[in-house]
Amino acid sequence: MEKEIILGRSGFYISFRSIFFEFMMKFGDKLQFQRGPFEWHGFRNLFNDSVYWNMILEKAVHDYAENNSIELEQSQNCIAATLAGSGITAGNPDYIIGWWTNFEEVTLDSGIYRLFRVEHPFTRDDMRTIFSLLKNLCPDIVSDIEVADRSYAAAITLQHLRTNSLKRKNKNNDLKYTAIYSHLEKQITQIMKNAEMFRVNSVYKINVSSDVEPLIIFENYRDFIETDK
């Protein structure tokens, strides 16, 4: 409510997350990032580690389905339920499934990238629990639990970097990124000039689905054809 949404000339919503990502992929190759004992040379490496946990969850769903000869939907429901009951902060299986299914795709010359809606679990311990459970379910996909800490640190670092780029008061705390922030600010200003601003006055839910008659299974479709004639 009372928030302004940036719209492009076509009337579609413009995501700052995608704007920031495209910009950093272009100008952030020479930057060095650090958080605790972890370092990343270049934004691409930081991003890859930040989404590693999302990607490993998706891979676990496929591997678990294959190893147990079950459908993908059943596999993801099983993994989500196991995670929900593990004591992590997130306790809703449907929300957990969104960790690897809810994303925005950005297409660049170098490929197609996924910007996941949920960038990290609530705590570092949650991340460790997730990787530990995945290691038990699919031992081949997790070689070292330490990657959980690295992925969590990368996600937090990227999130703070993007948030601080919008807050002038915090820019003095990241002097090594001053040039990047300045360049990014100019780009955003230019986008704003060519965009329309839509202010949200009210929000309400609508039902976008409706019940339909179920499909009928015919054991012998030829009987149905003859009857129809």
pLDDT in tens, 181-196: 788 888 777 777 777 7
Q: Are 68 and 75 in contact (CB under 8 A)?
A: yes
pLDDT band per the 50, 70, 90 thresholds, residue 168 = low
Dump pLDDT digits (tens) for 84-138: 999 999 999 999 999 999 999 999 998 999 999 999 999 999 999 999 999 999 9
- Given a cut of 70, is residue 43 above it in pLDDT? yes
pLDDT at residue 172 above 70? no
Q: How far is CA 27 from CA 23, 82, 116, 146, 229, in A?
A: 6, 40, 21, 29, 67
More confident of the two residues 10 and 217: 217
Distance of CA 109 to the CA centre of its chain: 20
pLDDT category at 64 given cuts 50, 70, 90 is: very high
Q: Give the β-pairing of 32-35 and 4-7.
A: unpaired
- pLDDT mean over 38-56: 96
| Cβ(82)–Cβ(136) below 8 Å | no
* Most confident range, picked from 72-81, 197-206, 212-221: 72-81
Domain ranges of the chain: 15-194
Q: Can you tell me the distance from the alpha carbon of 43 to that of 46, in angstroms, rounded to the nearest whole number?
A: 5
pLDDT for 170 beyond 60: no
E strands, the chain, are 4-7, 32-35, 38-41, 103-108, 111-116, 196-199
Q: Is the pLDDT higher at 164 or at 95? A: 95
Instruction: Decide: 32 and 39 in contact? Cβ < 8 Å.
Output: yes
CA distances (Å), 153 to each of 35, 52, 96, 168, in order? 6, 11, 20, 23
Distance CA 32, CA 18 (A): 21
